[in-house]
Structure 1
Amino acid sequence: MLSVLVVDDHPVVRAAIKIVLKQEGFNRIYEASSGNEVLPMIREHKPDLVVLDLVMPSLDGLSVLGRIQASDVRCRVLVFTSQEPMFYQDRCRRAGAEAYVSKTNDLQHLHKAVHAVMAGYTYFAKLSSNSVSLNPLQRSEKEMIDGLSDRELEIFRHLARGAKNKVIAEAMHLSHKTVSTYKTRLIDKLNVESLVHLSDFAKRNHLI
């Protein structure tokens, strides 16, 4: 009997994923709505597959991937998310994901990805990121974003959405001072003058 853990904080999305998975022959379907539930549930249920969103409360998907990679558990992970593949797909691949599917695609892509992963293959979109389709500003900004660590990217997105340092610190289990240090570093690394410009930068690159 095939088992799967579906990790997404939106019940409607989980319901849609479950329909696909049932059609693919998964009999036991477990659900989680936050990142910090994932590792304990993997240890308990030993699913054949994990379908993981990247944006969740408590612990983001990239951090979840990192924890799985650093742990003694072994499972296939398919990332199913609305996040821009140009900036996240390679990060997920490096963190151990076997597939990356954008929620903006037809659900047929999710079917194909599940097929591929369960057959021992990977499933990633072919990205035309190699500069040809990007203007000089886009190319420059993509390089800066690619140069951020996963944690810097997560804090960048929180700040760009207008979250206060204290809220980010609580959500990510960091000190207020650490978040403040990251904020200063991000403004410097991304060559912007203020948080307003940081937000504009994120919007231009479809990160929020």
Structure 2
Amino acid sequence: MSLNYRRNILIADDHAIVRYGLSLLINENIPTATLHEASTFDQAKEILNEQRIDLLILDINMPGGDSIKMIENIRVKWPATRILMFSSYLEDLYAIRYIQAGAQGYVHKETNEKDILKAIEQVLCGKTFMSEHVKEIVINNAIGGENPTGISSLSNRELDVAKLLIKGSGTVEIANILNLQMSTISTYKKRIFEKLRIKNVVELVELFQKGNVKL
């Protein structure tokens, strides 16, 4: 599939400097692209409603977004839009989760310009993009058949709950944010502690800090 015709690309990131940098990179290499920008998930949805977007470059930590739920929402409402995650979150922990949820690629923000452009072009052409490091993880998991351990063993929803616990949110607040019952949140909290073999939120914070997991 050729890139030599006009494409609508939406860059959704709450940092203006990130949007500016990506815009420069795309304009220089895909001059036929029409660029749109959003600083919140609600703004991104408005643009998706108004325009036919071929590619959404999306940050995970978007105001108004709910982690994996963002991808599920987009896949249902705008199935023709391809999604490339662009994040500073650890690839080991997040890349495969978001691709399994429906994104077509995942790029870390520290990736060099050449590989960022490669990811954009591949996803626009209908392919899935993963870094060599993530591909290696997928292959090793497939060959070894080993169950994930530590933070990687948490389900997507358990990870959401863990992140909110670390930020100081209580059971009631988390239930409201995730639109779940308080009893369900309590169950998730118990599972998190059991899987990670910890006893309290203080140990949870220490474990995430040790793993260099951004929230």
**Deviations 1:31-52 (Å, cap 9, x if unpaired)?**
2222344344323211111001
Shift of 1:108: 2.3
Shift of 1:83: 0.8
Structure 1's unaligned 5+ residue stretches are 132-138
Partner of 2:201: 195
Are 1:56 and 2:62 counterparts?
A: yes
Shift of 1:165: 4.3
After TM superposition, which residue ranges in structure 1, 4 or more long, deviate above 6 angstroms?
A: none
Are 1:14 and 2:19 counterparts?
A: yes
RMSD: 2.6
Asked if structure 2 preserves the Cα contact closer than 8 Å seen for 1:59 and 1:172, the reply is: no
- Between the aligned partners of 1:169 and 1:36, the Cα distance in structure 2 is 21
Partner of 2:152: 146
Give TM-score, length-normalised by structure 2: 0.79
**Deviations 1:67-92 (Å, cap 9, x if unpaired)?**
12233532111111011111111111
Structure 2's unaligned 5+ residue stretches are 1-5
> Which amino acid letter does the alignment assign opposite residue 149 of structure 2?
E
Asked if structure 1 preserves the Cα contact closer than 8 Å seen for 2:48 and 2:78, the reply is: no
- Between the aligned partners of 1:174 and 1:80, the Cα distance in structure 2 is 28
Partner of 1:118: 124
- Judge which range, 25-34 or 194-203, deviates more: 25-34
> Which amino acid letter does the alignment assign opposite residue 14 of structure 1?
R
Taking the TM superposition and a 5 Å limit, the aligned residue runs for 1:63-102 are 63-71=69-77, 73-102=79-108
- Between the aligned partners of 1:72 and 1:184, the Cα distance in structure 2 is 36
Judged with a 3 Å threshold, the aligned counterparts in structure 2 of structure 1 residues 62 and 143 are, in CA distance, closer, same or farther, namely same
Asked if structure 1 preserves the Cα contact closer than 8 Å seen for 2:67 and 2:160, the reply is: no
The alignment of Structure 1 onto Structure 2 pairs a total of residues equal to 200
Partner of 1:135: none
